[in-house]
Chains A and B, each alone.
Chain A
Amino acid sequence: MKNYIREERAKKQLTQAQLADLVHVSRQTIISIETNRYLPSAVLALKLAQALQKRAEDLFELEASD
């Protein structure tokens, strides 16, 4: 699964720590999501979408391998 968290976060001028605080996770979790080492749950994906004021499907994209 491809995601655009890093790009959208940069557009909103949020740091990883600020985004982590907004969705109540650790900065490590945001780093892992951005680098595709961790796939968030649906709840966290929706929280991220809410924090970045985007739709979840704009943040996450299925790849051929999924």
Chain B
Amino acid sequence: MNLLLPHRFKKIGIVMIPLSFAFWLLMQKGMITLLLTLLFGEVNYFDYRMVNIVVASISFFGFLLGVYCLAFSREKIEDEMVQKIRMDSFQFAALIQLPLIICGFFSLLIPGNTKEQEVIILVLAAALIVFWFGFITRFHYMLHVKLK
């Protein structure tokens, strides 16, 4: 079973990741609201808040989609060495993710910790980011730097 995307999706991922991150950052810094205020003046605050939520959702899912495109697209020549590096990189990513999940779990057991929900969300988000960025970084480093 081969679930890899064609090679051109790698370029799409490379464009989508920084673009989505930039939009998310602009939204977080209130630049979207500022821009809308400059363009349309002081309208209903609720409308701008909705725009911000839409921008946040699109940029978050755009970012994730970009990460998946980058991680799951074929190399120009997808041979056995590339497949081995891909497999090793998945193992590496899973290994670096594991201590994070264990630490996150034990942090829930700390007496007096009243922010369990926040910790769980933070650990899940960090685990997701560590896994995919660990995989992408290790895979491309091995392929394009170490074995070049």
Contact surface of A with B, Cβ cutoff 8 Å: 20, 24-26, 28-29, 31-32, 37-38, 40-41, 43-44
Contact = CB atoms under 8 A, between A and B. Distances in A.
B39 interface: no
B80 interface: yes
A31 B148 CA distance: 8
A8 B132 CA distance: 41
Contact of A44 (B76, B80, B82): B80
Contact of B79 (A24, A31, A37): A24
A25 B80 contact: yes
Nearest to B143: A28
B79 A25 contact: yes
A24 B82 CA distance: 13
A37 B142 CA distance: 11
B79 A38 contact: no
18 contacts: A20-B77, A24-B77, A25-B77, A25-B79, A25-B80, A26-B76, A26-B77, A26-B82, A28-B148, A29-B79, A29-B80, A29-B82, A31-B147, A37-B147, A38-B81, A38-B147, A40-B80, A41-B80
Contacts, number: 34
A60 to B, nearest CB: 16
B3 to A, nearest CB: 21
Query: Would you list the 5 A-B pairs with minimal beta carbon distance, nearest first?
Result: A25-B79, A26-B77, A29-B81, A32-B147, A38-B81
Contacts of B76: 26
Interface string B132-145: 00000000000100
B80 A26 contact: no
B7 to A, nearest CB: 12
